[in-house]
Structure 1
Amino acid sequence: MIRFSVLCRYVVCTALLLVFVLTGTQMSFAQTSASNMDAVLVVDVSNSMTQSDKNKVSNEAMKMFVDMTSTRKNKIGIISYTDKIEREKALIEVNSEQDKNDIKSFIDSLQKGAYTDISVGVTEAVKILDAGHDPANAPIIVLLADGNNYLNEAAGGSQAQSDKRLQDAVKAAQSKGYPIYTIGLNADGQLNRTTLQQIATQTKGKFFETSTADKLPAILSEIFANHLKLKVVPIKSFTSNGQIQEVPINIPNANVLEANISIMSQKSVELKLFDPAGKEVAIPSNDVRLSRSSAYTMLKLIKPQQGDWSLQVKGVPKEKIDINMIYNYDLQLEMEPLKNQSFQAGDVVPVKAALVSNGQKVNSPDLYKQMKGTLIITDKTDQKTSEAPLTNTGSGFEGSFKIPADHAYELKIKAEDASFYRETPPLLVDASSAAGAGTTSGQPTTGADAAEKPFPWLMVAGGAVLLLIVAAGALYALSLYRKANKGFAGQVAIEIVDEDTGDKSNPQYKKLSSFKGKVRLHQLLQLAPEFQETDKVILLPGKNDTLIIENRSSCRIEKAGRVLDMSQGKELKKNDRIKISLTSVNKSVFVDYIV
């Protein structure tokens, strides 16, 4: 319940903010960073994929994608489909290694089915992003399939219906900015290349093709890097001699957040790591994460020291080993605002850009040392694009552009080195004749009439304050009424795991909007007798689309691997995931809160 005094303070603050806005006070907002992603991995698990991927390398590739993801606000969802959704995991925020392990275990549990309909997988992927996408993250869909449909005609499936669903899903992804990267598996020569290429092209993703599943981890690495404006850096490829072999690892500057080192080998390898001072670093440790699979070994160095590291690798004799690295940076490239607001043909437009982190300009000569800057110019009138090199000043990039004609131009700066690249948002410089004296976008011009008579800002602000104070009383009265009838937001996804067998149920999605005031978990589990103890696990609507969960039972509730005391209630936010371990049966209930 909002206290009246708190509400009044809120109103006064709002009123003051309104006064600042009305009187022309300028406010700046930090741009959101796209260094995190919301990724939905979609895989065809029909029997047709048995020939394309006999050893389930697609599963290993998806797990590698998960391992490369940093544990800081990235989200991952998984879909396996045939002609229906076989298994599904909504977007889960990856905040710990345990979160990654849960996702990888889910991937390992995927099973094959009889038929396939590609429209089912793409449609569901769009829905998952709609339900859980964080606007601050970069959305992405990765589709692994052969592109062919094998419909169950006895169940009423038709190619025309499937084509229409796929077309609608692709249009939705395109309009919402969800790029779809498609990977075509062509082991049996039956790849439907056209469909997968069209999906990628229309959504501004990228199409990959491979005739061997062994290349999937490398493809997933490239997709991961490309989407986050990173580059896959080849380190070394060699055939193991059965002895220790030295592999140099260079950390080029102090701005590397993570260095992901992938060691591709079908056989297990032994590793030792030494820092630039020659001191051995424990694997794993706080700053070195280790993940192993049947197809790869992954080392993740957290905020590694700049300099030349050494990796010692000992593999099985005659085993081929490929080592690559992806650096992860928390950096953006920002262009300085243009001083002039009007342009015409012949004008010289100076441009400058610099790398920033957390809103602050980065001062790192080592970071800039190997970088090059390019000005990308798009003539919006002729739809032609050209490039011009920029000068690297050691703290940024600068140059100029001479306007050749009375056209509108889009300017964008790209900075890159061997390990990553960044681009500025485009800036429109309008020098077209139709615009008269051209302008830069986002800088509105003012007319002379506006200066003739001052606008009564104070009267407007005072009236707004009075109106807000009157509204405060009404809001307070309304809040009293709403408390007794408060509804829920969003839905929960529920999975049940048999701890004896490891079997997992398909996720059940339960909309909370039909409940008022509170709901017991037992109700959401359809009052099944074996889950009777969950009758004392209670969900309540919280503030700002959150859930409050109270545990009055003997169940153990964990979040991110930590046991929580929920007897007094704990808040669940969007995309939080909890595990409820039952005591009467050896089963666990996983609950994801989706808004």
Structure 2
Amino acid sequence: MKKLRFGLWYRYALCLMVLFVSVIYGAHSGFAQTAGNSMDAVLVVDVSNSMTQSDKNKVSNEAMKMFVDMTSIQANKIGVISYTDKIEREKALIQVNSEEDKNDIKAFIDSLQKGAYTDISVGVTEAVKILDAGRDPANAPIIVLLADGNNYLNKASGRTQAQSDQDLQKAVKEAKDKGYPIYTIGLNADGQLNRTTLQQIASETNGKFFETSTADRLPQILSEIFANHLKLKVVPVKSFTANGQAQEVPISIPNASVLEANISIMSPKAVEVKLFDPAGKPVAIPSDQVRLSKSSAYTMVKLVKPQQGDWKLQVKGAPKEKIDINLIFNYDLQLEAEPLQATSFKAGDVVPIKAALVSNGQPITSPDLYKQMKATLIVEDKTDNKTSEVALNNTGSGFAGSFTIPADHAYELKIKAEDTSFYRETKPLVVDASQTAGAGTTKPQQPTTTAPGEQSKPFPWLTVVGGAVLLTLLIGAGLYALALWRKANKGFIGQIAIEIVDEDTGDKSNPQYKKLSAFKGKVKLHQLLQLAPEFAETEKVIFLPGRNDTLIIENRSTCRIEKAGRVLDVSRGKELKKNDRIKISLTNVNKSVYVDYIV
């Protein structure tokens, strides 16, 4: 057992002591929430056998990979769930910090396998849990569900459609209450799509429903999801029929605040692309400023912090093949309103309104950015439940106007600014004129007086210091006990895939996916092998949760453990990182157990 380091223990104790004294003597602290353009996205896909027909072209795989490619490498998190009537495989939310992270997620998507039955409630319920467990409060949460909307329950399990419906309704309500919009993409290659279920899931969680049977609609669908969720707009580019020669497509970067420009090129056959910057110079694809992603259905060119101006893209496709090109921008911009000066309101008051675009908390002063923008004040009368709009003036560095309070009602004001490529909204401003006259006034505070004969008492330093010392000792004991408890109850991250190979015959079992979240503190390999008697020696092969989403394996048995062909000494523990694969050779039977750690 490792003891808590003294420095860490001291800082905990000091913080808690300060909090204790602050509470006693009335100190207050405030917390601010931030909001940005990043997202925490969970991609949920039905992998039941029925999808072989409703998704025979594997549109779901292409959709998920395109979603990953469109996401910017800036504080976003992505998780993946595949389900049948149970969770088949799962990748918890991971930070996307590099192209390697994206490739890892896309490889995971390509490795998903089919199962026999379907229960849509299982996938939606798990998606909510993943967001609960791993989302960043500063990011915008989103669930994208790809399915045909149909259930096919295992009769032998005893589960009924009514039970599934009840669980789905519960999960959808949780998603709605927690602000998790669910965007549903209905896959309908066989014409058996259950639109009603998918439409209800989307509408009840403030998401959107889409339908497709082919991959050519994916850029438009995913662009709309991005646009709706991150307040962007799809910029029409060009559609044409390829002639076997390089055809030029203009790409206009409207301003210097574009973080990324995503150019998706859809073609049934491979295309060749070349790129030229606004000065006409060729730009290497790929390079530090240009990312290239390809799949069987699309080519994605991503310009990172592109120069403002008119770029040129040359696309060479197979003769007579239709090519569709879509463009969507990722912006690092927010719209912020100036705080209201007044604190009390009444009918007839004129409320000044001002707002401006900011990036990383700093105002944007670029006239080019504001040139084509329009702003509107959206007024929601909370008393009458009516909404109206008031046009605002573009000052070249922001937006300004005023709102005249028409009646003694409560109002919520939001400012919306938009151009051809994006729009932004401010957080609501509250104008409450519903109080009766004088209700907002306060009585003057009477000066406090000391009763005759009462003397001011000295500050009780001895009591405070003695209490602080006692509190520190109690905190130390509590932290030590907490450390013991936390180690015994620490949760696992991810899951492991287990394959068993008969070394005599070479036969290999199908992968068994074991979710580690069901265990606390430690789990024995024998437990994961369902306590089968022939594998009794794995009772002493133990897994422990490690730091930073790792897994620790300890071997106290006679089994031999190898990684990449090298024998490991894990008697004192060995760290396994995501996608690590180890081989455990048994001694009592001529079999080997392969373990893959999946985060």
Considering the TM-score relative to the shorter chain, is it more than 0.5? yes
**Structure 1 stretch 28-37 or stretch 394-403: which is displaced more?**
28-37
**Partners in 1 of 2:39 and 2:341 — Cα distance?**
34
Could you say what the CA RMSD is over the residues aligned between the two structures, in angstroms? 4.0
Alignment-derived partner of residue 174 in structure 2: 172
- Structure 1 position 393 matched with structure 2 position 395: yes
Larger radius of gyration: 2
**Structure 1 stretch 75-84 or stretch 3-12: which is displaced more?**
3-12
Alignment-derived partner of residue 489 in structure 1: 490
The correspondence of residues 442-461 of structure 1 with structure 2, limited to 5 A, is 448-449=444-445, 452=448
Q: Which ranges in structure 1 are unaligned for 5 or more consecutive residues?
A: 439-444, 558-565
- Residue 590 of structure 1, CA deviation: 2.4
Q: Is the 8 A contact 1:335 1:354 kept in 2?
A: yes
- Structure 1 position 374 matched with structure 2 position 376: yes
- Residue 5 of structure 1, CA deviation: 6.9
**AA aligned opposite 1:374:** T
- Residue 3 of structure 1, CA deviation: 6.0
The correspondence of residues 143-182 of structure 1 with structure 2, limited to 5 A, is 143-182=145-184
- Residue 359 of structure 1, CA deviation: 1.9
- Structure 1 position 311 matched with structure 2 position 307: no
Alignment-derived partner of residue 293 in structure 2: 291
SS in 2 for 1:578: coil
Closer, same or farther in 2 for the Cα pair 1:219/1:409, shift >3 Å? same
SS in 1 for 2:206: coil
The correspondence of residues 44-443 of structure 1 with structure 2, limited to 5 A, is 44-210=46-212, 212-433=214-435, 437=439
Alignment-derived partner of residue 578 in structure 2: 578
**AA aligned opposite 2:494:** A
Alignment-derived partner of residue 560 in structure 1: none
**Structure 1 stretch 395-404 or stretch 9-18: which is displaced more?**
9-18
Q: What CA deviation, in whole Å up to 9, does each residue of 1:519-548 have, x standing for no partner? A: 588678659999999989975666xx9879
**Partners in 1 of 2:318 and 2:363 — Cα distance?**
47
**AA aligned opposite 1:473:** L
1:510 pairs, out of 501, 513, 516, with 516
SS in 2 for 1:278: coil
Between Structure 1 and Structure 2, how many residues are aligned? 568
Q: Is the 8 A contact 1:489 1:512 kept in 2?
A: no
- Residue 571 of structure 1, CA deviation: 10
Q: Is the 8 A contact 1:391 1:399 kept in 2?
A: yes
Q: Which ranges in structure 2 are unaligned for 5 or more consecutive residues?
A: 451-455, 556-560, 585-591
**Structure 1 stretch 206-215 or stretch 238-247: which is displaced more?**
206-215
SS in 1 for 2:493: strand
**Partners in 1 of 2:95 and 2:431 — Cα distance?**
39
Closer, same or farther in 2 for the Cα pair 1:42/1:496, shift >3 Å? same
SS in 2 for 1:286: coil
- Residue 120 of structure 1, CA deviation: 2.1
**Partners in 1 of 2:595 and 2:167 — Cα distance?**
36
Superposition TM-score, scaled by structure 1 size? 0.83
SS in 2 for 1:233: strand
**Structure 1 stretch 496-505 or stretch 476-485: which is displaced more?**
496-505
- Residue 480 of structure 1, CA deviation: 4.4
- Residue 32 of structure 1, CA deviation: 1.7
Closer, same or farther in 2 for the Cα pair 1:321/1:546, shift >3 Å? closer
**AA aligned opposite 1:183:** I
Closer, same or farther in 2 for the Cα pair 1:140/1:5, shift >3 Å? closer
- Residue 355 of structure 1, CA deviation: 1.6
Q: Is the 8 A contact 1:534 1:555 kept in 2?
A: no
Closer, same or farther in 2 for the Cα pair 1:221/1:457, shift >3 Å? farther
Q: Is the 8 A contact 1:38 1:140 kept in 2?
A: yes
Q: What CA deviation, in whole Å up to 9, does each residue of 1:391-421 have, x standing for no partner? A: 1112211111100011000011111111111
Q: Is the 8 A contact 2:490 2:545 kept in 1?
A: no
Q: Is the 8 A contact 1:263 1:323 kept in 2?
A: yes
Identity %: 64
**Partners in 2 of 1:372 and 1:534 — Cα distance?**
68
**AA aligned opposite 1:169:** A
- Residue 489 of structure 1, CA deviation: 3.0
**AA aligned opposite 1:578:** K
Q: Is the 8 A contact 1:537 1:551 kept in 2?
A: yes
Alignment-derived partner of residue 561 in structure 1: none
Closer, same or farther in 2 for the Cα pair 1:208/1:452, shift >3 Å? farther
SS in 2 for 1:342: coil
Q: Is the 8 A contact 1:495 1:504 kept in 2?
A: no
**Partners in 2 of 1:65 and 1:201 — Cα distance?**
21
**Partners in 1 of 2:81 and 2:471 — Cα distance?**
47
**AA aligned opposite 2:258:** V
- Residue 71 of structure 1, CA deviation: 2.4
Alignment-derived partner of residue 473 in structure 1: 473
Closer, same or farther in 2 for the Cα pair 1:191/1:303, shift >3 Å? same
**AA aligned opposite 1:367:** L
Closer, same or farther in 2 for the Cα pair 1:65/1:334, shift >3 Å? same
Q: Is the 8 A contact 1:7 1:472 kept in 2?
A: no
Closer, same or farther in 2 for the Cα pair 1:190/1:551, shift >3 Å? closer
- Residue 227 of structure 1, CA deviation: 1.0
- Residue 43 of structure 1, CA deviation: 2.0
**Partners in 1 of 2:520 and 2:92 — Cα distance?**
21
